[in-house]
Structures are given as C-alpha cells and as structure tokens.
Structure 1
Amino acid sequence: MTLNRRPVASLWIGEKLHYINQLCLKSHLLHGHPVTLYCTDKVTNAPEGVVIRPATEIMEIDMALVEATSASFLSNVFRYKMIRKTGALWIDCDAFCHKPFPDEWEYVFAGHGMRGALNCGVVGLPVQCQLMDMLLDYYDNLPDYPAWWGKKQRKQMDRNTEKGGLSHAAAIYKTERTAFGPQAFTYFAQQSGDYDKAMTPDVLYPVPFQLNDVFFDPYGRVEGHFTDATVSVHLYTNGTKPWWRQNPPLKNSYVARMCDQVGIDPAQALGE
C-alpha cells in the first residue's frame, strides 16, 4: 500500500490490541495514512504496517497515575505533546477511517453526541497555536479546580480529596472523568477563539455516543448517520458492552462488515 497522506498516531497502554483497535488502525493504513502507535508495553498484535514506537519518545507515562485513573487520562495529555513534537494527526484507537483526511485541514476537531460539546478523539492542530499552549499549560500546571467547574463539582472534589490517597490529578479525574478530555478541550477552544473552527459532528462522530450499540446490530442502519462529509467514524469502545468485547460481532453488523472489508479476524483478538 502507498502511504503518502498525512501521518496519524495514537497511544496504547497495555500489551494486546482488541480487534476493534486493529480494525481502526488498519483502516487508516488502507487510506494511505502512515500510522504510528506509541506503546508502554511490547505489543505484538498490531496490524502489519503500523509503526510501533515507545511512548517515552513523547513523554514519561506515570503508570501509578494510570492505575488511579484510566489509560484515557494520560492519553489526554499525550495527544497534545505528540502533536507538538511530531505534527501528526491524533486518532483514538477506536476511530475508523471512512475516507482519507485532507492534507489541507489544519484544525481537525468536531462536536459529538447530543449535547454539543467538542470531542478530542480525533485532533489536528497547528504545532504552534494558542489552543495548544493553553491545553499543555493546563495539564502541566493543574489548577486547584478546573475553571469551568461550579460549586457542585468543587464540593465533590473536596470530598474526594478528604478521603486521602489520591493525587491532585486523580482527585479531579474522580470528580469528573471528562475534565481532562472533552470538557477541557471545549473550554480552552472557547478561550482561544477556536471553538468556531469545529467541524459538524457528521465529519468525525456521525453516530452519537448514546447510540453506539448500533455498530453491533445486524439490522442497524449505521450508514444512515453518514453524510458526504463523513471522514471518521468513532466506535466508542469506552461505552461498548462487555459482550461485544468478548465475542465476535454478528454477521452483517457494521463492525463485522468493516472487519471483512479491512481484513481483520475478530476471533483472534477478543477481550478477556
């Protein structure tokens, strides 16, 4: 395959990819995007053509903090440091490439779901820009409370902190999981004046998170959510029911059809 489009990259914390992750990474290769997967461990089941690099090339990964929060917490920091260092487009490992990303797209992000907030599952930013500076400063110099929190969240965080045993970052995460992901991205895009650069949800997140079971429904009409502008399809593995992680997708479901199209055998990389 000819890899002559803009490079994309992601992070994997763990030793084994699930078949959905294999599917999504390979889909970018098939559309001509060089794919780099930064890893904390030795990953042996990445699709052929995916370049494996140590995550430490971008930043040190605090595994104790990962244990106290989640892999997604560190990925929220990692993606911006990766973009600044390499200029690659960030893709979550559950973002399926429907069509190639145009090279001329400088700001790549969109709203998602049914609430209108921005998501950061697929992100492209100029290496030097105010939004990037704000995001990195937020993660490197965490405030007492995120600026957009109200009294309810602040009181809840105080209770989490009083319980002891949590770092400041973990206490914020335990109070509101998305405070390091979509909430932060949305707030700082507003502050930098870049919020209006957001693409419409159909470009990157055509199916709302609340409807993610449709990907596994053999009678679902996933493509009914797509438009001519759709480039990426987020599969939302953080909301996938355990059954679909531990069993192959049903024949004719969107995920099963895409596995056939891309050449991924789900039975070889099921969850435990």
Structure 2
Amino acid sequence: MNRRPVASLWIGERLHYLNQLCLKSHLLQGHPTTLYCTDDVKNAPEGVELRPASDIMEIDMKVVKETSPSFLSNVFRYKMIKKTGAIWIDCDAFCHRPFPEDMDYVFGGHGMIGALNCGVVGLPQDCALMDALLDYYDNLPAYPEWWPKRLRKKMDALDPSVPLSIRIYEVERTAFGPQAFTHFAKKTGDFEKAAPREVLYPVPFQLNDVFYDPYGRVEGHFTDATLSVHLYTNGTKPYWRKNPPLPGSYAARMCEEVGIDPAAALEE
C-alpha cells in the first residue's frame, strides 16, 4: 500500500547509519521516501528516491559553513511541503507507525518545556501557518518579533556587514527552527493542533542516551498513539556516532529489524 510521501534534505556526501535506519523505516511502513541532496550521496538505502536539493531551493553553502547543515533545512522544509505536499521528516526520525491519511496537520510538542518541534511536519500546502513561515524566511525582519530586548541588544553588537540570517543564527540557533514554528503556530491559532509529545517525540531530547542503553526501556515512553521516534542525532554523544550501538539497545534492535549494518556507516 502506498501511503503519504515523506521527504528530507541531506547536506553532505554520506549518511550515518542512524540516518539510513530512519529513512528506511519510512519505506518499510509504505511511505514513498525522497531525499533531496546537495551532493552525490552513495549510501542511501535502496528505494529512497534521491533528488537534487535545487529542485526545491538553492542551498547557499557559504551560509551552511557559517551556521550548520540543519540551519537552511528550516527554510527548505516549508518550501518543500508547499511545492510537493509531502510530509517533512528529519533524517533522525524513526517511523514507528504509518502517518494517518487524514492527519492534515502533523507536528507536535517535544522535550519537557511545552514548545513545538519541527522535526516532523505536515501542513496543508495552502494555510495561514505555511504563509506566515514562508513570509518570515523570505522577508527576514531586523529581529524575530518574539525576541526580548536582551537578544535584540546581542544582535545590535554584531557586525552589521554579516548577512542578517547568519547574525540571527549567531544570537539564537533555534530562531529559524522550533522558535519560529512555535511562535507562528500560536499567532495563526494552530498551536492547539499539535499532537501530544508521545505521538512524534515520545522520548524527551534530554534523555536521548537511552537509545544506546541495552537496559533502557525506550518503549516505556511509547503509547498506542506513537507514530514517530525522534533520535536527536544532533545531541548524540560522539562515542555513539563513531561506534556501533550495544546489542540489545533500541538503536541496535531497530537496525536489526530494519536491516541496517551500523558498522558500515559510522562517523569518521
């Protein structure tokens, strides 16, 4: 059965085994999966459709170098949804169950503070939240409108010749990601459409080491409503990026279940 298409972005030449695992998990749940790439990625799981990122937007590698690979993906995901209607998935979001066909708004809270995350996002291609996000990115304000005086003063102290987007990033790394998504979802009245944490982010990011602990009860965080499991690779300790997961850990069990060899795609 073909389910709703999902898509992500990869900036770089090589996927880590956790990224292979997460992409393939969507394929196995029946979701056509596209990976937009800036480079020639040779180790994507079989069945993942590889397309140039420029199909959606040009990725300015100078901006990536001054910020992070995830920075421009915050803009990319909404432009991708607008153009294709696919659900955005971060490359570290594991598909636990298929996304329902009738779930028009796919996003949810994460962590322990009640904010929204944008690691998994589905929106109608035409909606107020989409318009607000794209307008923000396409017409960056001097300061994000939700910033307090403290952050505005920090911004004022930066070299004004540095591009505005990079200055915003330097002041607040999440101003293009969860901060913006949370702010505009509240502004458009869509905040209440957020799924409970257990649906898309069942394990709080503060506890992400549990994925590598053979005695960690990861599934204890899940409910019958859980669709996706975010692995938070940005917060993964270097040891787990450079070494295979311990047998019996959630990461190891999922690799075995999905058919991924961690030792073949470790961080170098």
Return the letter of the residue paired with 1:94.
D
Q: Distance in 2 between matches of 1:231 and 1:56?
A: 30
Match of 2:18 among 2, 20, 31: 20
Return the letter of the residue paired with 1:167.
P
Measured after TM superposition, the shift of residue 270 of structure 1 is: 0.2
Return the letter of the residue paired with 1:7.
P
Measured after TM superposition, the shift of residue 166 of structure 1 is: 2.6
TM-score by length of 1: 0.97
Measured after TM superposition, the shift of residue 157 of structure 1 is: 1.4
What is the 5 A alignment of 1:95-174?
Answer: 95-159=93-157, 161-162=158-159, 166-174=162-170
What is the 5 A alignment of 1:162-241?
Answer: 162=159, 166-241=162-237
Return the letter of the residue paired with 2:137.
Y
Q: What is the RMSD of the two structures over their aligned residues, measured on CA atoms? A: 0.8
Q: Tell me the SS of whatever aligns to 1:148.
A: coil
State how many pairs are aligned. 268
Which residue does 2:79 correspond to in 1? 81
Return the letter of the residue paired with 1:47.
P
TM-score by length of 2: 0.99
Q: Distance in 1 between matches of 2:150 and 2:168?
A: 13
Q: Distance in 1 between matches of 2:242 and 2:14?
A: 14
Q: Percent identity?
A: 74
Measured after TM superposition, the shift of residue 21 of structure 1 is: 0.1
Q: Distance in 1 between matches of 2:180 and 2:17?
A: 30
Match of 2:261 among 243, 258, 265: 265
Question: Per-residue CA shift, 1:184-242, capped at 9, x if unaligned?
Answer: 00000011110100000000000000000000011101000000000000000000000
Q: Segments of 4+ in structure 1 off by > 2 A?
A: none
Match of 2:251 among 238, 249, 255: 255
Measured after TM superposition, the shift of residue 18 of structure 1 is: 0.2
1:36 aligns with 2:34: yes
Measured after TM superposition, the shift of residue 155 of structure 1 is: 1.1
Structure 2 gaps of 5+ residues are none
Measured after TM superposition, the shift of residue 156 of structure 1 is: 1.2
Return the letter of the residue paired with 1:93.
C
Q: Distance in 2 between matches of 1:84 and 1:186?
A: 19
